[in-house]
Amino acid sequence: MSHKPYPAYKPSGVEWLGQIPEHWEPRKRKRSEMEIANLLKEVSG
């Protein structure tokens, strides 16, 4: 499976990750986990 490359990349600031698409916003993992938990609560009622 292949995907179309993004038009521009930038450094991620994380050595092992390397370049990321320019429009991506790096986030802290804890914040992302909290957002997912909140979405799951909304979906489950």
pLDDT at position 1 over 70 = no
**Rounded distance, CA 11 to CA 19, Å?**
5
What is the pLDDT, as a whole number, of residue 23?
Answer: 92
| Counts for the chain of helices (H) and strands (E), in that order | 1, 2
Return the SS3 of 10: strand
pLDDT at position 4 over 70 = yes
Domain boundaries, the chain: 9-44
For 6-39, write each residue's pLDDT tens digit.
999 999 888 998 999 999 887 667 777 788 888 8
Q: What is the pTM of this model?
A: 0.49
**Rounded distance, CA 2 to CA 19, Å?**
18
What is the pLDDT, as a whole number, of residue 10?
Answer: 94
